[in-house]
Structure 1
Amino acid sequence: MKKRNEVLELSFEFALQIINYSELLEERRKYVIARQLLKAGTSIGANIREAQSCESKADFIHKLKISHKESEETDYWLLLCEKAASYPNPNVEMKAMLLSIQKLLTKIISTSRK
């Protein structure tokens, strides 16, 4: 039986939400931020997944640090959408998921360094 990987599952679900929100932005003709958000938001899970087959502990930590950086960029784009009057607000669940992913990544990176 395969052990559950919470950060991997959560980042995948988050990527699906990012895809849906990016499509909403594109429908509203907000193409530039839609693309930036799509790239950064889906990259989080892609790098976490890549870390699962890393070559060393240092490689594992590096991939997770990239994921964390992408999560910070994603948070920036979502904040812009939230504050810009002409943009549809991202849903609260998506922001909560991102925060959970960031906390998990911070904990995993910290624990892995020890």
Structure 2
Amino acid sequence: MDKEILKKRTKAFSIEIAHLVQSLPFNIINKDYSNQIIRCSSSVGANYRAACRAKSKADFINKLKIVEEELDESMFFLELLVEFNQDQKTTIIKTWKEANELLSIIVSSITTLRKAMASQS
């Protein structure tokens, strides 16, 4: 996938999470989970942009690993939010599916890069 498209998708993911959080009712659970998911979901796009400026393939892989972790964390908090916001289940699941698709792309990229680096050794 083209890096500019992925930059746009990771940014859109962060924005989608922010809109979701704004739509949730205010309570202690949503407050704490929302704070966490805002941080990790925005980190996805920020770290992908940093990966695009990597100095080497190894640096690129390391930065993509951070993106992978932040996506996985975002998915975890989406799973928790759906448990306490069943009325938002459809929206949360849609957002979770986008996170999962992004995660698949990132993991596939990491795997491909590692294979390429191994074959050059």
TM norm structure 2: 0.81
Question: What's the % identity of the aligned pairs?
Answer: 24
TM superposition shift of 1:4: 5.7
Report the counterpart of residue 66 of structure 2 in structure 1: 66
Q: 1:89: which partner in 2?
A: 89
Q: Which has the larger radius of gyration?
A: 2
| AA of the residue aligned to 1:12 | K
Instruction: Structure 1: give runs of 5+ residues left out of the alignment.
Output: none
Deviations 1:65-95 (A, max 9, x none): 0010011111110001112367843613212
Comparing 87-96 and 62-71, the one that deviates more: 87-96
Q: CA 1:46–1:87 in structure 2 vs 1: closer, same or farther (change >3 Å)? A: farther
The alignment's C-alpha RMSD in Å is 2.0
> Matches of residues 50-61 of structure 1 in structure 2 within 5 Å?
50-61=50-61
Q: Paired residue for 1:8?
A: 7
Deviations 1:25-67 (A, max 9, x none): 3x52321111001001111111101101111111100111001
1:101 alignment partner in structure 2: 102
Distance 2:84 2:65 in 1: 29
Maintained 8 Å contact 1:44/1:70: yes
* 8 Å Cα contact 1:82-1:89 kept in structure 2: yes
- Normalising by structure 1, report the TM-score: 0.85
In structure 2, C-alpha distance between the alignment counterparts of 1:34 and 1:83, rounded to whole Å: 13
Question: Which residue number in structure 1 is paired with residue 119 of structure 2?
Answer: none
Judging by fraction of residues, say which structure has more helix.
2
**Structure 1 pair 64–70 and aligned structure 2 pair: CA distance change class (3 A):** same
